[in-house]
Each structure stands twice: as C-alpha cells, then as structure tokens.
Amino acid sequence: MVPPADSSPCRGSLARAGVLRANWDCWDRCNLDCPFCFRSRADVLNTADAHRLLAALGYAGVTHMTFTGGDPSLRRDLDVLVGNARAQGMAVEVLTNAQHQPSAVRAALLRADLVGLSLDGGDAATHDGFRQRKGNFTRVLKLMDFLDEAGQPYVVRTVVSRANISGILPLVPILTSRRALVRWSLQQFSAVESGYENRDRYELPTEEFLDLCEDARRRLGSAGEKLSVLTDDGKVGLYLLVDPGGNLLARIENPPAGRLPTIGNLLNDHLVDLASRIVLDAARHAARYEDWMQHDGSGHSQRAHRRR
C-alpha cells in the first residue's frame, strides 16, 4: 500500500534496500511459444492497477523501470504506462520480441529510454527454430533497422543454450554495424518456468557458455566493449522481479520445480515489509545497473526530453 505521509518508512524503502531497477512482467501472454520461456504467469493488472503498481515502485524509490513479459507490445495501454513511469522521473526500458510492431507500439518504444530485443541466432533457421515462430528473425531485423534510423538506443539479448549455441557467432557481423546498439547481452539458459520443464533440451555447461562468449568477444574486436555476459548463477539475487499481478518474486538458486517463490505483493503489502524480504545482492545490482544506466539511460533521457 502507498501511504500518504512522506515520513512513512515505506517511502524510499526499496531504494534503501539497494533496488535501483524493477523488471515487471507487465503482460502474461506472448505471441511466440518458446519452450525455454522463463516468463512468470499471473492474472494481468488492468490499467488502473498498473498505475497503482508504478506509483508504489516510484514511492519506494525505484528509478529505472523495465517492462517485459510475455510481450509488452500486446498491452494496449503500453504507451500510457511508459508515459506514467517517465512522468515519475523513471528511466524506462521496454523488452519485446518484435513480432508485433504496429505504429502505436513503435511510438511507445520511441518514448522509452531503451529498447530490449531478443535475437537468438545469426540466421533465420536458428532464431526462428529456437523461438518457434517462422519469420520472427526478419521482424527483429526490421525493428532494429527502424531503431537505428530513429537513433533510439537498444540492447540485443541472446539466450545461449545447447539448442542454438552453434548459431550464435554468426550474429557478430550482423550486430557490429548497428548504429543504435548499445549492448549485446549473452545470457546462459536458465531452467525456470517453461525452461525447467524442457531443460533437457537446453541446459548448457557454464564452461561451454563462457568459451562461446570469449570467442564472440574476440570476433567483435573493438566493439567487444558492448558485450555483456550473464551466467545462470549470476542471475541469482541480481534482479527485482515483479510478475503480471504485482507479486514480487525471489530469483533464487535452483528454485523448486523451476518456479520462483513469491515474497509479497506491491498492491497489498506495506512496501517497507516487502523491502525486508527481497533477495538481492545490492552491490552486484548496483555495479551492473549504475554503469548501464549512465551509458544508455541518462543521455537518451535528455535527448528524449529535448525532442518532445
């Protein structure tokens, strides 16, 4: 609950716990059917309750907001929610698989500070096979072209697993020429949610993952500074995760049956109590996100305000 008094211990409670950024799975459904998917599932908040959730996060001191899913592009009020977060002074990132990109979605992406895209192979056969949707590879490249032309900063996230590792390195020449790309994030597959049920198809030894990442860095040459590497165990305690219904989830090691435990709800619980239950490595969280925010958040925020 968001109390009215500024002296309330709930005010700034997440910030005091070290939280800079929240990742909200703002939409449960997706237009792809990836067997490795790690999205959380819950009843989706309507627009009014979504505004309440953003208000709670802002009151608790969160300064950077990531809209993820499912796919946020399927929320008809995405542009309104991005505007709400921006009005609170939050820097905003929107993650999308690029399958659905009508003019309204593109407008919302341009309103954000940063866009996150998923690209899991350097050719259509690898990516589309991995994502289980023919033609998605082409749609991702199409959206990248649009963002490059608009000068809108974006990140490419690549899930690396046993099923697609042979198709990762061909991404290097595709990404090195991209003008608005600020980061390429290679992320080891995690056996969470649907990924847990299908882990035998995807699990990849960490050593093999890291070898691939080093090879990619060498091939990138001077562009290697844009490469980010995240192992499966490196994700533990790194994020503040919020499911579609406003529940806070704990990113713990080896979650039971691949389901992340719930530690409370942003709309129903006192924020100071939630802050005390968060499983977060505050130092690692800050080291990761403060650097990224300075690089691809602050500067673009200033540019975005100027163009309004």
- Specify the residue for token string 């749609």: 139
Whole-prediction pTM value?
0.92
Three-state SS for 205-245 is: CHHHHHHHHHHHHHHHHHHHHHEEEECCHHHCCCCCEECCC
Report yes or no on 180 lying in a domain.
yes
Report yes or no on 270 lying in a domain.
yes
CA distance 304 to 308: 7
CA distance 205 to 13: 38
Count each helix (H run) and each strand (E run) in the chain, helices first.
13, 10
- Report pLDDT for 241: 94
Cβ pair 60, 9 in contact under 8 A: no
CATH of the domain at 128: 3.20.20.70
Report yes or no on 71 lying in a domain.
yes
- The SS3 call for residue 277 is helix
Report yes or no on 7 lying in a domain.
no
Q: Which structural domain range is residue 220 located in?
A: 15-31+40-107+116-307
Report yes or no on 1 lying in a domain.
no
The upper half-sphere exposure of residue 239, i.e. CA atoms within 13 Å in the direction of its Cβ, equals 23
Report yes or no on 126 lying in a domain.
yes
Q: Are strands 241-242 and 21-27 parallel, antiparallel or unpaired?
A: parallel
- Report pLDDT for 288: 82
Structural domain count of the chain: 1
Report yes or no on 6 lying in a domain.
no
Report yes or no on 225 lying in a domain.
yes
- Report pLDDT for 193: 83
Torsion of CA 15, 186, 219, 146, to 10 degrees: -80
- The one-digit pLDDT tens for each residue of the chain (308 residues) are 555 557 799 999 999 999 999 999 999 888 888 888 877 777 899 999 999 999 999 999 999 999 998 899 999 999 999 999 999 999 999 999 999 999 999 999 999 999 999 999 999 999 999 999 999 999 999 999 999 999 999 999 999 999 999 999 999 999 998 999 999 999 999 998 888 899 999 999 999 999 999 999 999 999 999 999 999 999 999 989 999 999 999 988 888 888 889 999 999 999 999 999 998 999 999 988 776 555 444 344 433 332 32
CA distance 109 to 99: 14
- Report pLDDT for 239: 85
